[in-house]
Amino acid sequence: MNQNTHKLYQKGVSIWLDNITRKMLDNGVLQKYITELSVTGLTSNPSIFEAAIAKTSDYDAAIARISKPGITNEEVFFDLAVEDIQRAADLFLPLFEKTNGLDGYVSIEVSPLLAYDTENTLKAAKDIHQKVNRPNAFIKIPGTPEGLPAIEKAIAEGIPINVTLLFSAEQYEAAALAWLKGVETRINSGLNPDVRSVASVFVSRWDKAVADKVPAALQNKLGIAVMQKTYHTYQNFLNSERVRRVMNFGAFPQRLLWASTGTKDPKASDVLYVTNLVAPYTVNTIPENTLLAFADHGETGETIPNDTHAADLLLKQFEEYGVDYLQLAGQLQKEGAEAFNKSWDNLIDSISTKRKHL
C-alpha cells in the first residue's frame, strides 16, 4: 500500500479517481489503484469519455456491436458509458458495503446540453439511474440555477446525486440546500431520508482564469482561498439545525468534493491542490496523472482552517487587481458548462464517424 495516499485517506479525505476508460477496467489498473493507492471512488464527465472513446480505438468493437438501425449516437454513448460505470461500480462495491454506503461511488453525468433545462435533466437522471442499476452510482447534475430544482426533485425521488460545476461557497450552499430540501420532502412523506450526495466544487480553473491578471506573488493562490471559504460554509452547513434534524431522522449529510484538482500551471507543484485541500469528511477526485504524482512524492498538508480570515485577506488582494469573486464564479460555471458541451459534441460526432466507418 502506498504510504502517501494512505496517509491522505487516514486524514479523512476520500480519494476518488477522476477518470475511467475501458482499458483500465480490462487490464486491472483500476483494481490496482483501489488496492495499492487507497482509491475509494471514481468520477467521469463528458471530457473524460471524449478522451476515452473519441481519441482511441478501444471502443470501436463495442460501437460496431451496439450500432443497430434506429439507435441514436447518444444512445450508443450511454450504452458504452453505462457498461463502464457498472463494471467500475462492481469493483467498488466492497468499499461501499464496508463504509455503510458512504464511499465506493462512481459517477455518470446527464447530457451537458441539459444544464439549463430542469424538466429534461430530471427525466434524464431518472433514466440513467435506472439503466445503471447499481446502489453505489451517483448521477451528476450541474448545479446551475436550472439544475438545482432537478437536484432537489431527484433527491426527493431517492436518486443519489453528484452536484457538479460548482465554483464558489455561494454556489455550493445553493446545491447543499437543494439536497436538504429533497431530504426534507422524503421525511415529510414518511420515506427513508438517507439519499447520498456530494457537492463538487472546481478548484484549478480559478487560478487559470486570473493567471494573466495578477503578479507572481498571487499566482495559484485564488483556487485554494475560494475552497477555504467554501469549506467554512460547508462546516456551518453541517452544524446547522436543519441538517442535524434530518440526521436525526437517519440521513447522512451531503459531502463536499474537491474537483478539478490537477495543477494547470507547469511552474507550480503538480500536487498543489491535493496537498492543500486536506479536511475530514471530504472527497478529492484526482486526475490520474496527479494521483500517480502524489503517490510518488506527495505530502499531506495541514488541515484546512475552519475560518475565512486568511482567505478573505487574499480575496481582497485579488480585488485590487480587478478580480470580482462573485462575477468570476458565475463566469466559470458558464464556461465550464460550455466546455462540457464542446466535449459532448466532439464525442457524439466521433461516434457518428466511427459508426459510418465501422
Query: What is the DSSP secondary-structure string of 102-157?
Result: SS--EEEEPPGGGTT-HHHHHHHHHHHHHHH--TTEEEEEE-STTHHHHHHHHHHT
Per-residue confidence (pLDDT) for residue 68, from 0 to 100: 87
Q: pLDDT at residue 197 above 90?
A: yes
Q: What angle do CA 55, 133, 179 make, to 5 degrees?
A: 95
The average pLDDT across 210-231 equals 97
Kindly state the percentage of the chain with pLDDT values over 70.
Answer: 100
Residue range 325-338: mean pLDDT, rounded: 97
pLDDT-derived band at 306, boundaries 50, 70, 90: confident
Contact predicate 63/351, CB 8 Å: yes
Q: What is the pTM of this model?
A: 0.96
Could you confirm whether 140 is annotated as catalytic? yes
Average pLDDT over residues 4-13: 98
CATH 3.20.20.70 fits 3-357, yes or no: yes
The number of C-alpha atoms within 13 Å of 165 and in the hemisphere containing its C-beta is 30
Q: How confident is the model at residue 234 (pLDDT cuts 50, 70, 90)?
A: very high
What is the DSSP annotation of 269-331? -TTHHHHT-B-TTEEEEE-HHHHHHHHHH----PBPPSS-HHHHHHHHHHHTTT--HHHHHHH
What does the pLDDT read at residue 357? 83
Average per-residue pLDDT in the chain? Answer: 96
User: How many angstroms separate the CA atoms of 77 and 49, rounded?
Assistant: 9
- Given the residues 68, 140, 181, 229, the one annotated as active site: 140
Instruction: Give the model's confidence band at 358: pLDDT under 50 very low, under 70 low, under 90 confident, else very high.
Output: confident
- Asked if residue 89 lies in contact with residue 25, where contact means CB atoms within 8 angstroms, the answer is no
Say if residue 2's pLDDT is above 80. yes
User: Tens of pLDDT along 126-155?
Assistant: 999 999 999 999 999 999 999 999 999 999
Q: For 229-263, give the DSSP string.
A: HHHHHHHHHHTSHHHHHHHHTTPPPPEEEEE--S-
pLDDT band at 274 (very low <50, low <70, confident <90, very high): very high
Domain boundaries, the chain: 3-357
Confidence of residue 254 (pLDDT cuts 50, 70, 90): very high
